[in-house]
Amino acid sequence: MFRTTHSWPACALALACALALAQTPPPSEPEPQWNTMQGEKLQALQAQGDAARGAIAFEICQGCHRAQALGRPDGSYPRLAGQHATVLIKQLTDVRAGRRLNTKMLPFADRHVIGPQDIADIAAYLAALPVPPDHGRGPGRGLAQARKTYEAECAHCHGNAGEGDAQRFYPRVSGQHYKYLRRETIDIRDGTRTNANPRMRDVVKGLSNESIEALADHMSRLPVQALR
């Protein structure tokens, strides 16, 4: 690694600088500990996803996530249709690495079943699926306040229309089942969902169950629209 023409003090200095640089996150990656780019996540993100192959690989997932990845209105299984490929890849590889707990799913989605290329293929397939507006919605309480809170605290990440942000790994929340949105927000607040963005956790940590219920309801009512 070191060229012999370098003097040792110069090498030591270069090494110290290199280490300091390595510890300074590049500006494109604001929360490295939350979303470090390495291993199979990086491989899947860099792979060219093939939606046709993804449709076949997704068959094993359909028993829970249902045909067309529409999920279930009772919130037990999320809708994956129309979710950003980057988000799907992060969530799936987080589960495989133990950063997000999902003991029900793991046997069907672990390394002996699918590899990084399959993950890229499935993500390409899911991201392009249509998002019909027939998902579960909430009881309609406290929506006016929830809208204000959403626009002040959540929209700069999840988007005014709930469209999320593919580049930043922020999930799309429009078109998602109310009960799933409610459970996930509570799990992130309580730390049960362990892989969440720390800034998101800060925003939800003071919220009551009632306000989370209304926020989830608001998100479930955002108009479903094409992502790109």
18 vs 216 by CB, closer to ligand HEC: 216
Q: Using the rule CB under 6 A, is 148 a contact of ligand HEC?
A: no
d(CA 68, CA 91): 19
Output the CA torsion sign for 95, 99, 41, 83: positive
Structure tokens belonging to residue 209: 């169950």
Window of 11-19, 44-52, 55-63, 135-143 that interacts with ligand HEC by CB under 6 A: 55-63
Region 9-28 residues binding ligand HEC, contact defined as CB under 6 A: none
Q: Exposure pattern of 56-89 as b/e (b: 16+ CB <10 Å)? A: ebbeebeeebeebbbbbbebebbbbbbbbbbbbb
d(CA 143, CA 194): 28
Contact pattern from residue 187 through residue 226 relative to ligand HEC, giving x for each residue in contact according to CB under 6 A and a dash for the rest: --------xxx-xx--xx----------x-----------
6 vs 104 by CB, closer to ligand HEC: 104
Residues ≥6 apart with Cβ < 8 Å to 128: 51
Report yes or no: 171 and 78 within 8 Å, Cβ to Cβ. Answer: no
Could you tell me the smallest distance in angstroms from the CB atom of residue 27 to ligand HEC? 16
Q: Which of 51, 157, 161, 227 binds ligand HEC (CB under 6 A)?
A: 157
Site residues, ligand HEC (CB under 6 A): 60-61, 63-65, 77-78, 80, 88, 90-92, 102, 104-105, 108-109, 114, 122, 153-154, 157-158, 169-171, 173, 176, 181, 183-185, 195-197, 199-200, 203-204, 215
